[in-house]
């Protein structure tokens, strides 16, 4: 088999930049620095069982969830990488209550802000199951002569400039898009480089898998349970039943469905009327990726990327993945809302 030319992410970013005559290299620099921080986090994740980085810190984040040591380590790594890069003026993290203004000389006038979930899938950290990092980059709206503001972060997902995730799994991959194709790079530990392994990823229109935490079925809306029942029905024509897969790390569940086709769902439920996952840190970046891979992301009624954020840590129900499956889930939700209207009349 002919040896495929190894293309590192740095080479790819520079080549991609060539396609934008007005590019200043700031976005390329930012992506490069996120890649570097990911390598450092990957090193700690890989040896997590050997060093005292497993377990909890004993503190909780603004969403009242337990904070794991590796969460903090990853958060610190990305903040320091972006602070030194000087390519971004502010950062909002799922692990921090408020956004962080990056003070360094260059950073202050930089034109980008970053939203990050430094370690997604925290319930899987201690049990050696795939976890991830999710990021998104926006152009600042505020005047570059001053500090960035909250409004720089509360932009709709459709205004994302670039987004991606790192999955720390059987191999470590960085998958991102700058609004064109979605490309995947696998970390080659022998050379310490992310190398292009999955060019121009396209999510299959039809899905094989459905991913939802079914243990909450008693708290899900009827329409969601009807759709899950539809996924389980025997019907050769539509390739059903689909296979159930749920890892409990959004990055890992999303990545499988992106490559093989499927739907990941974290719907609203009785105690989480807006679902569990955060719009800025989890839903928007994954919606940006799936749309540029030919899929869709919905909150059940509307396109996730068109939702106007009002708070940094707001939650959003999500149905994301293969077009046919997400549209089908929306159909069940719409049908159910109609029957609810009829019941009331």
Chain residues in the site for ligand FBP (CB under 6 A): 65, 94, 117, 120-123, 213, 248-250, 276
- Tell me how far, at minimum, the Cβ of 124 lies from ligand FBP, in Å: 7
- Tell me how far, at minimum, the Cβ of 187 lies from ligand FBP, in Å: 21
Given the complex with ligand FBP, which of 87 and 117 has the nearer CB atom? 117
Give the Cα separation of 167 and 252 in Å (integer). Answer: 7
- Tell me how far, at minimum, the Cβ of 221 lies from ligand FBP, in Å: 16
Give the Cα separation of 68 and 44 in Å (integer). Answer: 13
Give the Cα separation of 112 and 90 in Å (integer). Answer: 7
Cα 229–235–236 angle (5° rounding)?
145
Cβ atoms 184, 174 nearer than 8 A: yes
- Tell me how far, at minimum, the Cβ of 288 lies from ligand FBP, in Å: 17
Given the complex with ligand FBP, which of 230 and 266 has the nearer CB atom? 266
H or E stretch at 135? strand 131-139
Given the complex with ligand FBP, which of 67 and 150 has the nearer CB atom? 67
Residue 246, token pair as written in the block: 């749920």
Residue 23, token pair as written in the block: 């590019």
Cβ atoms 224, 270 nearer than 8 A: no
Residue 230, token pair as written in the block: 């539809």
- Tell me how far, at minimum, the Cβ of 245 lies from ligand FBP, in Å: 12
Cβ atoms 162, 35 nearer than 8 A: no
Given the complex with ligand FBP, which of 17 and 249 has the nearer CB atom? 249
Given the complex with ligand FBP, which of 17 and 322 has the nearer CB atom? 322
Given the complex with ligand FBP, which of 178 and 322 has the nearer CB atom? 322
Give the Cα separation of 141 and 212 in Å (integer). Answer: 36
- Tell me how far, at minimum, the Cβ of 249 lies from ligand FBP, in Å: 5
């Amino acid at each position: 088999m002919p040896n495929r030319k190894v293309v590192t992410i740095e080479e790819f970013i520079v080549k991609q930049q060539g396609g934008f005559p007005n590019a200043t290299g700031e976005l390329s620099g930012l992506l490069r620095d996120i890649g570097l921080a990911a390598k450092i986090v990957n090193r700690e994740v890989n040896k997590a069982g050997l060093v005292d980085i497993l377990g909890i810190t004993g503190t909780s984040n603004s969403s009242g969830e337990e904070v794991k040591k590796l969460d903090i380590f990853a958060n610190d790594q990305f903040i320091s990488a972006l602070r030194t890069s000087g390519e971004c003026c502010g950062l909002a993290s799922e692990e921090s209550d408020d956004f962080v203004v990056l003070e360094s000389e260059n950073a202050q006038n930089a034109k980008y802000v970053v939203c990050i979930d430094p370690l997604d899938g925290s319930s899987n950290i201690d049990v050696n199951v795939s976890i991830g990092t999710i990021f998104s980059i926006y152009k600042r709206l505020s005047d570059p002569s001053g500090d960035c503001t909250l409004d720089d972060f509360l932009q709709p997902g459709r205004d994302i400039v670039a987004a991606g995730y790192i999955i720390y799994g059987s191999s470590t991959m960085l998958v991102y898009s700058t609004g064109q194709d979605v490309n995947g790079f696998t970390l080659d530990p022998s050379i310490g480089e992310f190398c292009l392994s999955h060019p121009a990823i396209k999510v299959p229109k039809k899905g094989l898998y459905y991913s939802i935490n079914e243990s909450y079925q008693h708290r899900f809306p009827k329409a969601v349970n009807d759709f899950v029942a539809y996924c389980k029905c025997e019907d050769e024509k539509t390739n059903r039943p689909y296979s159930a897969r749920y890892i409990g790390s959004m990055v890992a569940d999303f990545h499988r469905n992106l490559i093989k086709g499927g739907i990941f769902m974290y719907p609203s439920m009785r105690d989480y009327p807006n679902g569990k996952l955060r719009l800025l840190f989890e839903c928007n970046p994954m919606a940006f990726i799936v749309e540029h891979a030919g899929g869709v992301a919905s909150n059940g009624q509307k396109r996730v990327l068109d939702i106007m954020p009002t708070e940094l840590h707001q939650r959003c129900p999500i149905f994301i993945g293969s077009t046919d499956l997400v549209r089908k889930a929306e159909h069940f939700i719409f049908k159910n809302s109609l029957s609810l209207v009829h019941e009331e009349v």
